[in-house]
Amino acid sequence: MKSARITGPNEPLVLIETETPHPKDNQVLVKVKAVGVCHSDLHLWE
């Protein structure tokens, strides 16, 4: 699966391929189709 990560301070947001996790008992795996970023969070990140 693809994930977007910031790997450290002052590092860019990067898309990486990661292994799909396997849920354990009493856990679920949720498929996300879209996400949003709050404008104020974007300013904090910049």
pLDDT tens for 1-46 read 888 888 888 888 899 999 999 999 999 999 999 888 788 877 776 6
The answer for residues whose C-beta is within 8 angstroms of residue 21's C-beta and 6 or more apart is: 29
Query: Domain spans of the chain?
Result: 2-45
Q: What is the pLDDT of residue 40?
A: 84
Stated pTM of the model = 0.51
Q: What is the pLDDT of residue 5?
A: 87
